Amino acid sequence: MPEKMEALGVLLVLLPGFACAYIVQSLSVRRRQTELDKVVEALLLSLILYVITLPFYGHSLPIS
């Protein structure tokens, strides 16, 4: 059961980044990306989103 909770935590952390990456890809014309490029872009966008929203949520990450 703990493995499922860890996987859910990873999904919740990455989900905003994947959503932003999808929006960026649909709004802009860019070269073809590999799956690894998409995951790295989602990681970077997730990090940026969490750093921006960190002061609004009391300096705590969503998964602790």
- 63 inside domain: no
Q: Is the pLDDT of residue 46 over 80?
A: yes
Domain count, the chain: 1
Residue type, 9: G
- 19 inside domain: yes
pTM listed for this prediction: 0.71
Residue type, 42: A
Calculate what percentage of the chain has a pLDDT beyond 90. 3
Q: How many CB atoms lie within 10 A of CB 46?
A: 19
- 62 inside domain: no
CA angle 22, 34, 3 (to 5 degrees): 75
More confident residue, 50 or 2: 50
More confident residue, 26 or 9: 26
Query: Which residues constitute the domain of residue 11?
Result: 2-57
More confident residue, 58 or 50: 50
Rounded Cα distance between 46 and 53, Å, is: 11
- 64 inside domain: no
pLDDT band with cut points at 50, 70 and 90 for residue 63: low
Rounded Cα distance between 52 and 4, Å, is: 28
